[in-house]
Amino acid sequence: MNNIAILCSGGDVSGMNPALKHFVEYSIENNLTPYFVFDGYEGLIDNQITKATYKDISGIIARGGTKIGSARSSRFMEKKFRSLAKQNLDKLEIKKLIVLGGDGSFRGLDIFYKEHGISFCGIPSTIDNDINMTEYCLGVDTALNIIKNAIDSIRDTASSFKRAFVIETMGRKCGYLAQISHITSGSELCLIPEIKHDLKNYEDKFRKELENGRRYFIAIVAEGINEDSSEIAQWFQKSIGIEARVTILGHTQRGGNPSVYDRLMAYKFINYAIDALVEGKEESIVCYSQGGFVYKSIEEVVSHKKILELLI
Ligand code: F6P
Protein backbone atom coordinates (compact mmCIF):
# COMPACT_ATOMS: atom_id res chain seq x y z
CA MET A 1 0.00 0.00 0.00
CA ASN A 2 1.31 3.41 -0.94
CA ASN A 3 -1.37 5.78 0.19
CA ILE A 4 -1.09 9.54 0.45
CA ALA A 5 -3.60 12.05 1.83
CA ILE A 6 -4.06 15.78 1.58
CA LEU A 7 -5.97 18.25 3.73
CA CYS A 8 -6.54 22.01 3.86
CA SER A 9 -6.29 23.74 7.22
CA GLY A 10 -6.96 27.30 8.43
CA GLY A 11 -8.14 30.13 6.18
CA ASP A 12 -8.87 28.85 2.68
CA VAL A 13 -7.14 30.46 -0.30
CA SER A 14 -7.68 30.58 -4.03
CA GLY A 15 -5.17 28.07 -5.32
CA MET A 16 -6.18 25.20 -3.05
CA ASN A 17 -8.42 23.66 -5.71
CA PRO A 18 -5.71 23.74 -8.41
CA ALA A 19 -3.41 22.13 -5.83
CA LEU A 20 -5.96 19.38 -5.12
CA LYS A 21 -6.33 18.70 -8.84
CA HIS A 22 -2.62 18.30 -9.36
CA PHE A 23 -2.27 16.30 -6.14
CA VAL A 24 -4.54 13.60 -7.56
CA GLU A 25 -2.82 13.62 -10.97
CA TYR A 26 0.75 13.64 -9.70
CA SER A 27 0.08 11.03 -6.99
CA ILE A 28 -1.28 8.62 -9.57
CA GLU A 29 1.69 9.37 -11.84
CA ASN A 30 3.93 8.35 -8.93
CA ASN A 31 2.02 5.13 -8.21
CA LEU A 32 0.51 6.54 -5.05
CA THR A 33 -3.17 6.24 -4.14
CA PRO A 34 -4.53 9.70 -3.33
CA TYR A 35 -6.97 10.40 -0.49
CA PHE A 36 -8.85 13.55 0.46
CA VAL A 37 -9.35 14.50 4.11
CA PHE A 38 -12.40 16.75 4.47
CA ASP A 39 -12.54 19.84 6.71
CA GLY A 40 -8.92 19.89 7.80
CA TYR A 41 -7.79 18.21 11.01
CA GLU A 42 -11.46 17.89 11.98
CA GLY A 43 -11.88 15.40 9.17
CA LEU A 44 -8.84 13.43 10.30
CA ILE A 45 -10.41 13.11 13.75
CA ASP A 46 -13.87 12.26 12.42
CA ASN A 47 -12.61 9.88 9.75
CA GLN A 48 -13.83 12.00 6.84
CA ILE A 49 -11.24 10.51 4.52
CA THR A 50 -12.04 9.21 1.05
CA LYS A 51 -10.12 7.93 -1.92
CA ALA A 52 -9.81 10.63 -4.61
CA THR A 53 -10.22 10.01 -8.31
CA TYR A 54 -10.00 12.05 -11.51
CA LYS A 55 -13.79 12.50 -11.31
CA ASP A 56 -13.44 14.43 -8.06
CA ILE A 57 -11.18 17.05 -9.56
CA SER A 58 -12.95 17.72 -12.80
CA GLY A 59 -13.41 21.45 -13.36
CA ILE A 60 -12.14 22.57 -9.96
CA ILE A 61 -9.02 24.34 -11.28
CA ALA A 62 -11.07 27.48 -11.99
CA ARG A 63 -12.76 27.66 -8.60
CA GLY A 64 -11.68 29.50 -5.47
CA GLY A 65 -11.99 27.99 -2.01
CA THR A 66 -11.37 24.31 -1.50
CA LYS A 67 -13.52 21.43 -2.64
CA ILE A 68 -12.55 19.40 0.43
CA GLY A 69 -13.26 22.16 2.95
CA SER A 70 -10.99 23.69 5.54
CA ALA A 71 -11.26 24.31 9.27
CA ARG A 72 -9.43 25.58 12.30
CA SER A 73 -9.48 22.64 14.68
CA SER A 74 -9.21 23.20 18.40
CA ARG A 75 -9.74 19.49 19.01
CA PHE A 76 -6.50 18.68 17.18
CA MET A 77 -4.66 20.53 19.94
CA GLU A 78 -5.71 17.71 22.31
CA LYS A 79 -3.68 14.53 22.43
CA LYS A 80 -6.68 12.17 22.56
CA PHE A 81 -8.04 13.57 19.27
CA ARG A 82 -4.62 13.37 17.61
CA SER A 83 -4.51 9.67 18.58
CA LEU A 84 -7.92 9.22 17.01
CA ALA A 85 -6.65 10.93 13.85
CA LYS A 86 -3.69 8.55 13.71
CA GLN A 87 -5.96 5.52 14.14
CA ASN A 88 -8.07 6.71 11.20
CA LEU A 89 -5.00 7.09 9.00
CA ASP A 90 -3.77 3.66 10.08
CA LYS A 91 -7.09 2.04 9.17
CA LEU A 92 -6.58 3.24 5.60
CA GLU A 93 -2.84 2.55 5.68
CA ILE A 94 -2.06 6.18 4.89
CA LYS A 95 1.56 6.91 5.68
CA LYS A 96 2.07 10.21 3.89
CA LEU A 97 0.25 13.47 4.44
CA ILE A 98 0.28 16.83 2.68
CA VAL A 99 -1.10 19.85 4.54
CA LEU A 100 -2.05 23.13 2.88
CA GLY A 101 -2.16 25.78 5.58
CA GLY A 102 -0.52 28.49 7.61
CA ASP A 103 1.97 28.28 10.45
CA GLY A 104 -0.72 27.50 13.05
CA SER A 105 -1.62 24.43 11.00
CA PHE A 106 2.06 23.46 10.75
CA ARG A 107 2.49 23.72 14.52
CA GLY A 108 -0.28 21.15 14.97
CA LEU A 109 1.38 18.99 12.36
CA ASP A 110 4.71 19.19 14.15
CA ILE A 111 3.21 17.82 17.36
CA PHE A 112 1.39 15.10 15.40
CA TYR A 113 4.62 14.06 13.71
CA LYS A 114 6.55 13.96 16.99
CA GLU A 115 3.88 11.78 18.60
CA HIS A 116 3.02 9.48 15.73
CA GLY A 117 5.77 9.73 13.16
CA ILE A 118 3.63 10.13 10.05
CA SER A 119 5.63 11.56 7.14
CA PHE A 120 4.32 14.91 6.05
CA CYS A 121 5.02 17.83 3.79
CA GLY A 122 3.51 21.27 4.32
CA ILE A 123 2.60 23.76 1.61
CA PRO A 124 2.42 27.38 2.87
CA SER A 125 -1.07 28.59 2.00
CA THR A 126 -2.41 31.84 3.39
CA ILE A 127 -3.29 35.17 1.84
CA ASP A 128 -1.45 36.84 4.74
CA ASN A 129 1.97 35.81 3.32
CA ASP A 130 3.27 35.74 6.87
CA ILE A 131 5.09 32.40 7.02
CA ASN A 132 8.74 32.45 7.93
CA MET A 133 11.27 31.09 5.39
CA THR A 134 9.02 31.43 2.35
CA GLU A 135 8.66 34.49 0.16
CA TYR A 136 5.40 33.22 -1.26
CA CYS A 137 2.34 31.49 0.11
CA LEU A 138 -0.33 30.01 -2.12
CA GLY A 139 -3.28 32.35 -2.66
CA VAL A 140 -1.44 35.64 -2.26
CA ASP A 141 -1.43 36.60 -5.93
CA THR A 142 -5.17 36.05 -6.33
CA ALA A 143 -5.86 38.07 -3.18
CA LEU A 144 -3.64 40.91 -4.43
CA ASN A 145 -5.48 40.96 -7.75
CA ILE A 146 -8.84 41.10 -5.99
CA ILE A 147 -7.58 44.03 -3.92
CA LYS A 148 -6.22 45.74 -7.05
CA ASN A 149 -9.57 45.42 -8.82
CA ALA A 150 -11.41 46.77 -5.78
CA ILE A 151 -9.08 49.76 -5.47
CA ASP A 152 -9.37 50.54 -9.18
CA SER A 153 -13.16 50.53 -8.89
CA ILE A 154 -13.13 52.64 -5.76
CA ARG A 155 -10.84 55.18 -7.41
CA ASP A 156 -13.53 55.79 -10.06
CA THR A 157 -16.13 56.74 -7.50
CA ALA A 158 -13.66 58.51 -5.19
CA SER A 159 -12.56 60.86 -7.97
CA SER A 160 -16.10 61.48 -9.19
CA PHE A 161 -17.30 62.48 -5.76
CA LYS A 162 -14.24 64.19 -4.27
CA ARG A 163 -13.79 61.83 -1.35
CA ALA A 164 -11.16 60.01 0.62
CA PHE A 165 -11.47 56.24 0.79
CA VAL A 166 -9.97 54.12 3.51
CA ILE A 167 -9.62 50.58 2.20
CA GLU A 168 -8.93 47.89 4.77
CA THR A 169 -7.05 44.76 3.77
CA MET A 170 -6.70 41.48 5.66
CA GLY A 171 -3.44 39.97 6.87
CA ARG A 172 -3.78 39.75 10.66
CA LYS A 173 -0.62 41.37 12.09
CA CYS A 174 1.19 41.29 8.75
CA GLY A 175 1.08 44.30 6.42
CA TYR A 176 2.18 42.47 3.27
CA LEU A 177 -1.11 42.73 1.35
CA ALA A 178 -1.49 46.41 2.24
CA GLN A 179 2.09 47.31 1.36
CA ILE A 180 2.08 45.62 -2.05
CA SER A 181 -1.40 46.96 -2.86
CA HIS A 182 -0.27 50.46 -1.95
CA ILE A 183 2.73 50.30 -4.26
CA THR A 184 0.90 48.69 -7.16
CA SER A 185 -2.20 50.87 -6.91
CA GLY A 186 -0.46 54.16 -6.34
CA SER A 187 -2.42 55.04 -3.23
CA GLU A 188 -1.67 58.15 -1.23
CA LEU A 189 -1.34 56.55 2.20
CA CYS A 190 -0.47 53.09 3.54
CA LEU A 191 -0.64 52.11 7.18
CA ILE A 192 0.73 48.74 8.31
CA PRO A 193 1.47 47.26 11.73
CA GLU A 194 5.21 47.00 10.99
CA ILE A 195 5.66 50.78 10.60
CA LYS A 196 4.76 53.21 13.37
CA HIS A 197 2.79 56.15 12.08
CA ASP A 198 1.72 59.57 13.20
CA LEU A 199 -1.11 60.92 11.08
CA LYS A 200 -0.04 64.48 11.90
CA ASN A 201 2.95 63.99 9.61
CA TYR A 202 0.66 63.78 6.58
CA GLU A 203 -1.61 66.70 7.39
CA ASP A 204 0.23 69.65 5.78
CA LYS A 205 1.00 67.70 2.61
CA PHE A 206 -2.52 66.37 2.16
CA ARG A 207 -4.20 69.74 2.91
CA LYS A 208 -1.93 71.45 0.38
CA GLU A 209 -2.68 68.81 -2.25
CA LEU A 210 -6.40 69.37 -1.66
CA GLU A 211 -5.94 73.13 -2.07
CA ASN A 212 -4.05 72.50 -5.29
CA GLY A 213 -6.97 70.60 -6.78
CA ARG A 214 -6.58 66.98 -5.70
CA ARG A 215 -9.98 65.33 -5.95
CA TYR A 216 -9.52 62.19 -3.89
CA PHE A 217 -7.28 60.21 -1.56
CA ILE A 218 -6.94 56.47 -1.34
CA ALA A 219 -5.56 55.08 1.91
CA ILE A 220 -4.74 51.38 2.22
CA VAL A 221 -4.88 50.24 5.79
CA ALA A 222 -3.92 46.80 7.11
CA GLU A 223 -6.40 45.22 9.50
CA GLY A 224 -3.63 44.75 12.08
CA ILE A 225 -2.93 48.45 12.83
CA ASN A 226 -4.00 49.88 16.15
CA GLU A 227 -6.79 52.15 14.91
CA ASP A 228 -10.08 51.15 13.33
CA SER A 229 -10.42 52.15 9.69
CA SER A 230 -13.33 54.39 10.72
CA GLU A 231 -10.91 56.42 12.86
CA ILE A 232 -8.70 57.01 9.82
CA ALA A 233 -11.77 58.14 7.87
CA GLN A 234 -12.70 60.54 10.67
CA TRP A 235 -9.18 61.94 10.55
CA PHE A 236 -9.55 62.63 6.81
CA GLN A 237 -12.79 64.47 7.47
CA LYS A 238 -11.70 66.49 10.49
CA SER A 239 -8.01 67.14 9.85
CA ILE A 240 -7.76 67.16 6.06
CA GLY A 241 -11.22 68.47 5.26
CA ILE A 242 -12.49 65.90 2.79
CA GLU A 243 -15.51 63.64 3.06
CA ALA A 244 -14.42 60.08 3.72
CA ARG A 245 -15.76 56.53 3.40
CA VAL A 246 -14.48 53.15 4.54
CA THR A 247 -14.40 49.92 2.52
CA ILE A 248 -13.46 46.78 4.39
CA LEU A 249 -12.54 44.23 1.73
CA GLY A 250 -12.82 41.36 4.21
CA HIS A 251 -13.41 37.88 2.91
CA THR A 252 -13.71 38.96 -0.72
CA GLN A 253 -9.90 38.72 -0.61
CA ARG A 254 -10.07 35.01 0.12
CA GLY A 255 -12.29 33.95 -2.78
CA GLY A 256 -12.45 34.24 -6.52
CA ASN A 257 -11.10 32.55 -9.59
CA PRO A 258 -7.46 31.53 -8.91
CA SER A 259 -4.94 33.64 -10.86
CA VAL A 260 -2.61 32.07 -13.43
CA TYR A 261 0.28 32.55 -11.01
CA ASP A 262 -1.52 30.74 -8.18
CA ARG A 263 -2.48 27.87 -10.48
CA LEU A 264 1.15 27.53 -11.54
CA MET A 265 2.47 27.81 -7.99
CA ALA A 266 -0.08 25.22 -6.84
CA TYR A 267 1.26 22.86 -9.50
CA LYS A 268 4.87 23.40 -8.47
CA PHE A 269 4.24 23.25 -4.72
CA ILE A 270 2.48 19.90 -5.17
CA ASN A 271 5.31 18.52 -7.32
CA TYR A 272 7.85 19.40 -4.65
CA ALA A 273 5.68 18.08 -1.81
CA ILE A 274 5.04 14.71 -3.43
CA ASP A 275 8.67 14.41 -4.56
CA ALA A 276 9.80 15.00 -0.96
CA LEU A 277 7.55 12.25 0.37
CA VAL A 278 8.50 9.82 -2.39
CA GLU A 279 12.19 10.48 -1.71
CA GLY A 280 11.61 9.63 1.95
CA LYS A 281 11.77 13.12 3.49
CA GLU A 282 9.79 12.74 6.68
CA GLU A 283 9.02 16.26 7.78
CA SER A 284 9.42 19.22 5.52
CA ILE A 285 7.76 22.40 4.38
CA VAL A 286 8.14 23.46 0.74
CA CYS A 287 9.28 27.06 0.73
CA TYR A 288 9.78 29.51 -2.12
CA SER A 289 12.94 31.54 -1.89
CA GLN A 290 14.99 33.58 -4.37
CA GLY A 291 13.17 32.26 -7.38
CA GLY A 292 13.29 28.59 -6.44
CA PHE A 293 11.86 25.95 -4.13
CA VAL A 294 13.64 24.69 -1.03
CA TYR A 295 12.70 22.32 1.76
CA LYS A 296 12.77 23.69 5.28
CA SER A 297 12.26 21.87 8.53
CA ILE A 298 9.14 22.61 10.46
CA GLU A 299 11.30 24.00 13.28
CA GLU A 300 12.85 26.56 10.97
CA VAL A 301 9.46 27.63 9.71
CA VAL A 302 7.47 27.87 12.93
CA SER A 303 10.15 28.97 15.38
CA HIS A 304 10.37 32.55 14.10
CA LYS A 305 7.91 35.18 13.09
CA LYS A 306 8.33 36.31 9.50
CA ILE A 307 9.87 39.74 9.14
CA LEU A 308 8.21 41.77 6.42
CA GLU A 309 10.57 43.25 3.87
CA LEU A 310 9.74 46.94 4.02
CA LEU A 311 9.48 48.59 0.63
CA ILE A 312 7.89 51.86 1.66
O1 F6P B 1 -5.32 34.08 7.93
C2 F6P B 1 -6.14 34.39 6.87
C3 F6P B 1 -7.20 35.39 7.27
O4 F6P B 1 -8.00 35.66 6.14
C5 F6P B 1 -6.69 36.69 7.89
O6 F6P B 1 -6.20 37.60 6.96
C7 F6P B 1 -7.91 37.16 8.62
O8 F6P B 1 -7.58 38.01 9.69
C9 F6P B 1 -8.52 35.89 9.11
O10 F6P B 1 -8.04 34.84 8.27
C11 F6P B 1 -10.02 35.85 9.09
O12 F6P B 1 -10.43 34.68 9.68
P13 F6P B 1 -11.90 34.11 9.58
O14 F6P B 1 -12.09 33.58 8.20
O15 F6P B 1 -11.94 33.04 10.62
O16 F6P B 1 -12.83 35.25 9.86
pLDDT tens digits for 75-111?
999 999 999 999 999 999 999 999 999 989 999 999 9
pLDDT tens digits for 130-154?
999 999 999 999 999 999 999 999 9
Three-class SS state of 35: strand
Q: Is residue 126 within 6 Å of ligand 1 at its C-beta?
A: yes
Same fold across 3-139+258-302 and 141-254: yes
CA distance 215 to 232: 18
Q: Is residue 107 within 6 Å of ligand 1 at its C-beta?
A: no
Residue 139 Cα, ligand 1 centroid: separation in angstroms? 13
Q: Which residues contact 310 (CB under 8 A, 6 or more apart)?
A: 179, 194, 195
Q: Is residue 11 within 6 Å of ligand 1 at its C-beta?
A: yes
pLDDT of residue 185 exceeding 80, the answer is yes
Handedness of CA 175, 178, 184, 187 (dihedral sign): negative
pLDDT of residue 1 exceeding 80, the answer is no
Q: What DSSP designation does 57 have?
A: G
pLDDT of residue 267 exceeding 70, the answer is yes
Q: Whose C-alpha lies nearest to ligand 1, atom 12?
A: 11
Residue 206 Cα, ligand 1 centroid: separation in angstroms? 32
Q: What DSSP designation does 72 have?
A: -
Q: What percent of the chain has pLDDT over 70?
A: 100
Q: Is residue 170 within 6 Å of ligand 1 at its C-beta?
A: yes
Q: Whose C-alpha lies nearest to ligand 1, atom 14?
A: 11
Fold held by 141-254: Rossmann fold (3.40.50)
Helix (H) or strand (E) holding 238: none
Q: Tell me what the mean pLDDT of segment 242-271 comes to.
A: 97
Question: pTM, whole model, 2 decimals?
Answer: 0.97
Residue 175 Cα, ligand 1 centroid: separation in angstroms? 13
Query: What amino acid is encoded at 42 in this protein?
Result: E
Q: Tell me what the mean pLDDT of segment 19-23 comes to.
A: 98
Q: Tell me what the mean pLDDT of segment 155-178 comes to.
A: 96
pLDDT of residue 28 exceeding 80, the answer is yes
pLDDT of residue 22 exceeding 80, the answer is yes
Q: Looking at residue 148, what is its pLDDT?
A: 98
Catalytic residue among 12, 39, 103, 128: 128
CA 301-303-304 angle, to 5 degrees, is 85
Residue 231 Cα, ligand 1 centroid: separation in angstroms? 22
Q: Whose C-alpha lies nearest to ligand 1, atom 6?
A: 171
Query: Would you list the domain boundaries of the chain?
Result: 3-139+258-302, 141-254
Active site residue 128: yes
Q: Which CATH architecture has domain 3-139+258-302?
A: 3-Layer(aba) Sandwich (3.40)
